[in-house]
Structure 1
Amino acid sequence: MSSAAAESGLLFGTALCISDLLSQPRTRAILRDCSIVTPEYELKWDAVYRNPGCPDYSAADDLASFASNNNLAIHGHTLWWHEAVPPALPTSPENQFQEAALNHLRETVTRYSGQLHSWDVVNEPLESADGRADGLRETCFLAAFGPDYIEIAFRQASLLDPGAVLVLNEMGLEYDSPAAERKRRQMLALLEREKTKGTPIACLGIQSHLTALEQPRRHPEFRAFLREVRALGLSVMITEMDVSDHLCPRNRSMRDTIVADTYRAYLDLVLEEAKVLAVSTWGLSDDRTWLNSFRPRSDGARQRSLLLDRAIRKKPAWHAVRGALLNKDKQEPGPGKAPQ
């Protein structure tokens, strides 16, 4: 898989956690298929500060050593995210929260400066339901720093790790709904505002948690959004891709075919319209998917949402993703897009 991505100038990877390294079949699959890895939990603020006042980077260090020893790039996930704040901090006075958040960002980026390919600097900044005109999610970061918190985070990260790709990562941009289209418009407005201020955002991370039988094949609204992102001079990373099969028939062969088709159609679209740096899945094998608990099937069957099955064997989805990566430079340009 990584060689197919490399032929198109991309990185391909997956999220992993330290326990994955205890399984030789899983480790072999990661080394066979991946050129970039994302720590699933180990770099998150609350994971580093499980013990208040005593940061522990040992698990993240072990993953960084594994990546370095095997010539894998690392995508840092994530510096500021409202769901990864140490429990004692949200009720702290704003000035104390500011100091703690900045200290964590500086300490983390400095520790790994020059070692990582990219950082999710801010994760999931938008939430239309919170009712703000700018679309920003009401979080402890917004409360402490104000709307400039995104600029502050990116400027700090840029100073401390100037060679890394700095990513603004968001969920739900790829869905087919009025709410998703509203979020796409809000994201474009946010990127334009930050670009005007000189905020060093280089890349938009699109999480890409897809749902089979809901994700449209053509999706003209999403296609137009990707063109506008590209026109802003930004690249794209697909950061957390998987495909929920909770709406699919129980038959395993039918499910696998539908899931594979969803991966292929989605990647064909994004790779045609965006300047994509990397494609990463949220886990490689079905035994590691979060979707069994987050979006369980009504018939009780286990999700088959990733590229490898529970025995770490390649599924139709693996071949579909590989085919899309190999097909990247053979696609016809989209409407209004100049040939490469």
Structure 2
Amino acid sequence: MHTDRTDRTDRTNRRLAAALAVIASCALAGSLALVRPAGAADTSLKQLSEAKGKYFGTALVQSNLSNSALVGVATSQFDMMTPGNEMKWDTTEPSNGSFNFGPGDTLVAFAQAHSMKVRGHNLVWHSQLPGWVSSLPSSQVQAAMETHITTEATHYKGEVYSWDVVNEPFNEDGTLRQDAFYNAMGTNYIADAIRTAHAADPNAKLYLNDYNIEGENAKSNAMYSLAQSLLAQGVPLGGIGLESHFILGQVPSTMQANMQRFAALGLDVAVTELDDRIQLPASSANLQQQASDYSAVIGDCLAVTRCVGVSQWGVGDADSWIPGTFSGYGAATMYDQNYQPKPAFNASIAALGGSSGSTSPSSSTPSTPPTTSSSSPGGGGSAACKVSDVVSAWNTGLTENITIANTGSAAVNGWKLTFTLASGQTVSNSWNATISPSSGQVTATNMSYNAAIAPGSSASFGFQATHTGNASAPSSFSLNGQVCTNG
């Protein structure tokens, strides 16, 4: 348990972080004062949702905060924020008893500075789980789980609206995953986790969250039975999160009925991680179908009183996790690579009862990169370049967001950026580029959708890595064989 002194120190540190976030956001606001935020409409997603007693949220990671276009959309359109990675176990307790809340505190402070609620994500999950937890003897797992939940939920007490207490507990057939927690405690681990979180933060709404439970099927039936059982035991379960990672055209017709049956148990329901992936390249017809899919999801939520809101996973296609996870797929959000609104944005505004009007030529079609080039894909282009990067590090890990600016007069079509990682750094995953090998001198290669960089334009990508103490950024970069300036 935290002592009063420790708790006061934590709160003071978070207040300092919040103050820094306010200063940074004010500076950013000043830089954007003359630019209408991408996707701005007469009434925003959050305003329309709030008028109907709902919220409209997004997910952010710490490195997003350096992207002014992304931040402009996030703060103008969304009123709920879910940390993408910063509250997960591998970040918050990478080694037994050693807690790291710095990355999460940064995002919470940002949310508070912009009047966003915070969805805590997550406390118990089989994935992104440090190896030390799985290596524990079964007799020690329950104590470790309870300590982790108590420490983290106490740290953020009063600062999160809700917690995804147990994330993705089910297999596709409706059986429970046989992870470290199930193997040590059986089905009782879920009730114990929720009760432990409630003891630490009695006012937070406590959720079970999973994917492929949006419609009525074997997996959602199992979730429904579990919810019934927990409530019958007096477990303080508050809601069910429907992740809603859809494939184009596959929003289930039973989604509203499924939401309603959970609501009838006295539970809130929320669409927690919405995106709708398209096989690339996305056609005009694809984008219209995506607009229909978004409209259907929002309509289902509006029809169920206890559906509290919808959150999109990420802000725009440029920061979406989809391309890096599902090969050949992307364009999964309401905003394109340049954070301009797509048809799905306009359909969402309309579904919420608003009118998006005409925000820009790109409000009905995504931006298309130029096709002219001075280099073959991946070849030795001659365009001048400047590279900037932002590193966010914690005990044994880091994220790095890299932006390549074309400062030359000719377009680049196809790029490879070569740089050397600091000793001890190993890339574990990446987005908006493929990176190989995972350590030493590495090369980041464009995806199909961001191959072209017009003169005066830029492309961004990022990666997550582990480190052994040296979290420094690369000192030099070469684009298609040409050394870039740093800045």
Query: TM-score per shorter chain, which class?
Result: 0.7 to 0.9
1:202 to 223, 238, 242: 238
The answer to whether 1:256 aligns with 2:300 is no
Rounded Cα–Cα distance in structure 2 between residues aligned with 1:208 and 1:101: 27
1:155 to 195, 207, 216: 195
1:117 to 149, 161, 166: 161
**Offset of residue 294 of structure 1:** 2.0
Check conservation: 1:209, 1:240, Cα contact below 8 A.
yes
Aligned ranges 1:174-193 → 2 under 5 Å: 174=214, 181-193=217-229
Rounded Cα–Cα distance in structure 1 between residues aligned with 2:259 and 2:184: 32
**Residue aligning to 2:176:** 136
**Residue aligning to 2:131:** 87
Q: After alignment, is 32-41 or 151-160 more displaced?
A: 151-160
- Which residues of structure 2 form unaligned runs of 5+? 1-44, 355-487
Q: Quick one: higher RCO (CA 8 Å, sep 6+), 1 or 2?
A: 1
Check conservation: 2:182, 2:189, Cα contact below 8 A.
yes
Rounded Cα–Cα distance in structure 2 between residues aligned with 1:72 and 1:251: 32
SS at match of 1:245: strand
**Residue aligning to 2:91:** 47
Rounded Cα–Cα distance in structure 2 between residues aligned with 1:64 and 1:254: 38
Check conservation: 2:278, 2:331, Cα contact below 8 A.
yes
Letter in 2 for 1:100: A
**Offset of residue 267 of structure 1:** 2.1
**Offset of residue 128 of structure 1:** 4.5
Check conservation: 2:123, 2:166, Cα contact below 8 A.
yes
Letter in 1 for 2:194: F
1:236 to 269, 285, 304: 269
SS at match of 1:269: helix
Count of paired positions: 310
CA RMSD of aligned residues (A): 1.8
Letter in 1 for 2:350: G
**Offset of residue 142 of structure 1:** 1.0
Rounded Cα–Cα distance in structure 2 between residues aligned with 1:94 and 1:165: 29
SS at match of 1:296: coil
Letter in 2 for 1:265: A
Letter in 2 for 1:315: K
Rounded Cα–Cα distance in structure 2 between residues aligned with 1:64 and 1:79: 16
**Offset of residue 158 of structure 1:** 1.1
What TM-score does the superposition give when structure 1 sets the normalisation length? 0.86
Rounded Cα–Cα distance in structure 1 between residues aligned with 2:190 and 2:282: 45
Rounded Cα–Cα distance in structure 2 between residues aligned with 1:311 and 1:5: 24
SS at match of 2:310: strand
SS at match of 1:79: strand
Check conservation: 1:128, 1:136, Cα contact below 8 A.
no
**Residue aligning to 1:96:** 140
Identity %, equivalent residues? 30
**Residue aligning to 2:212:** 172
Letter in 1 for 2:283: R
Letter in 2 for 1:164: A
What TM-score does the superposition give when structure 2 sets the normalisation length? 0.61
SS at match of 2:300: helix
- Which residues of structure 1 form unaligned runs of 5+? 328-340
Rounded Cα–Cα distance in structure 2 between residues aligned with 1:145 and 1:92: 13
**Residue aligning to 1:326:** 353
**Residue aligning to 1:145:** 185
Check conservation: 1:79, 1:119, Cα contact below 8 A.
yes
Cα deviation, 1:75-120, whole Å, max 9, x if unaligned, reads 0000001113211221210122222211111110000101111110
2:320 to 278, 282, 289: 289
Rounded Cα–Cα distance in structure 1 between residues aligned with 2:271 and 2:285: 26
Rounded Cα–Cα distance in structure 1 between residues aligned with 2:283 and 2:190: 44
Check conservation: 1:7, 1:326, Cα contact below 8 A.
no
Rounded Cα–Cα distance in structure 2 between residues aligned with 1:103 and 1:45: 12
Check conservation: 2:301, 2:309, Cα contact below 8 A.
no
**Offset of residue 159 of structure 1:** 1.4
**Offset of residue 225 of structure 1:** 2.2
Cα deviation, 1:287-309, whole Å, max 9, x if unaligned, reads 11111122222xxxx62110111
Rounded Cα–Cα distance in structure 2 between residues aligned with 1:124 and 1:140: 13
**Residue aligning to 1:225:** 258
**Offset of residue 213 of structure 1:** 2.4
**Residue aligning to 2:82:** 38
**Offset of residue 222 of structure 1:** 3.4
Tell which structure's C-alpha radius of gyration is larger: 2
Structure in which a larger fraction of residues adopt helix: 1
**Residue aligning to 2:21:** none
**Offset of residue 156 of structure 1:** 1.1
**Residue aligning to 1:279:** 310
Rounded Cα–Cα distance in structure 2 between residues aligned with 1:225 and 1:252: 31
**Offset of residue 52 of structure 1:** 5.2
**Residue aligning to 1:332:** none
**Offset of residue 63 of structure 1:** 0.8
